Amino acid sequence: MKIGIVNDSIMAAEILRRIVLSAAGLDLLWIAKNGAEAVKLCQDQQPDLILMDLIMPVMNGVEATRLIMKNSPCAILIVTASVTGNSSLVFEAMGGGALDVVNTPILGDNSTDTAGEDLLHKIKIISCLIGCPLPTKPKQHDPSPSPLKPAPPLVVIGASTGGPQALTTILSTFPSNFKAPIIVIQHMDKKFTPGLASWLNQQIDLPVKLINEGDRPESGVVLLPNTNVHLQMSKNCRLSYSIEPEDNYYHPSVDVFLHTVALHWSGKVIAALLTGMGRDGAQGLLNIRNRGGHTIAQDKESSIVYGMPKAAREIDAATEILPLTKIGPRIINLTS
């Protein structure tokens, strides 16, 4: 996994360099002293992941993140001296496409053993999300593994502003014998989601249920999270609610859920990103596409707010871009 470091502090850059070189599977591609230098280096030698500082001369990390995601997109992890102290800049960088944030490691007793633990943990998670998993210790061979039943196709639909009506347009095309499980991630306060589920149940043929902790996707059932935090999928494909990552302010986040789906769902994934403000869902959609899933973004003309699907288009996260009325029939075709 190729790493780029952006930091104007010689000491901080050296700490990051040592940590990167100490980890198996990580290669240092370049070090930039400011955001402008990083933008140019990224165009010439695109890394898999950039460790981006926030406060730098010439060009800060927020503007550099935006330009990199526009011109030569790749994964960006914000590494800053104070996550809480720089919270406004952190949110701006996340809105510009950064995946996560971590405090700059501080060395003690000339050792990187503990200083880089949090950083390496974040890098390991991101490596899985972008399809470049780091080497792990080989597992002991199980002489008699039990056969696994193939998972069915899973449909995930993410939406925000203008989402309820768009969801109705798509879900109303699904027949009552539709076999694939469907999970909808709609940006909405939990006090309104029971009403949304009730309303959808009156509009479509498939049953709509709110997700309880520990539920699994159900064939032919539309599942809707009822949360002010995030929905995640665990290793055994159970659904759970989590405050992590706390710095992702979309609740529930399409990105967070799609990243966990890419890690744990063994079957085919069809993911659609609909109308909505912001960038949530674009990186998750790209991760699903990189893992072999089929991804769809709503087109500009049929979107109430062309933010989230536009972000997906900009980073080439969508296998195809379709008008709203064609998304439902396309999903039916892909799952049949």
How many residues are listed for the chain in this entry?
A: 336
Sheet holding 27-32, edge to edge: 27-32, 2-6, 49-52, 75-80, 100-103
Are 161 and 244 in the same domain? yes
What is the predicted pLDDT for the residue at 134?
79
Please check whether residues 109 and 170 belong to one and the same domain. no
Residue where one domain finishes, among candidates 112, 129, 146: 129
Do β-strands 230-233 and 239-242 pair in parallel, antiparallel, or remain unpaired?
antiparallel
Specify if 138 maps to a domain. Answer: no
Q: 147 in a domain, yes or no? A: no
pLDDT at 114: 52
| Residue 159 covered by a domain | yes
Residue 84: give the domain boundaries: 2-129
142 within some domain: no
**Do 223 and 282 sit in the same domain of this protein?**
yes
Question: What local confidence, expressed as pLDDT, does residue 115 receive?
Answer: 55
In this prediction, residue 140 carries a pLDDT of 46
Residue 227's Cβ-count burial label (10 Å; 0-12, 13-18, 19+) is buried
Q: Which residues, including other chains, have CB under 8 Å from residue 192's CB and lie 6 or more apart?
A: none
Within a domain: 66 = yes
Answer with the one of 66, 94, 129 that is the final residue of a domain: 129
pTM: predicted TM-score of the whole model, two decimal places: 0.58
Domain match, 36 and 160 both: no
- Check residue 277 and report its DSSP letter: S
Model confidence pLDDT, tens digit, residues 74-85: 999 999 887 777
Q: Which regions in the chain score pLDDT beneath 50?
A: 109-113, 138-148
Is 160 a known active-site residue? yes
Residues 262 and 321 in one domain: yes
Question: Is 174:332 a contact under the CB 8 Å cutoff?
Answer: yes
Domain co-membership, 294 together with 245: yes
Q: What is the pLDDT of residue 156?
A: 98
Catalytic residue among 48, 53, 280, 299: 280
Q: Does 244 lie in the same domain as 195?
A: yes
**φ/ψ bin of 118: left (φ > 0), alpha (ψ from -120 to 50), beta (otherwise):** alpha
- The active-site residue out of 160, 253, 302, 303 is 160
Q: Which listed residue (53, 100, 127, 187) is catalytic? A: 187
- Judge if 124 and 161 occupy the same domain: no
Whether residue 148 is contained in a domain is answered as: no
Neighbours of 116 (CB within 10 A): 21
Are 50 and 187 in a shared domain?
no
What CATH number did the domain enclosing 167 receive? Answer: 3.40.50.180
For the chain, the domain total comes to: 2
Reply yes or no on whether 118 is catalytic: no
Q: Which residues contact 290 (CB under 8 A, 6 or more apart)?
A: 130, 131, 262
Is 140 domain-assigned? Answer: no
Residue 144 lies in a domain: no
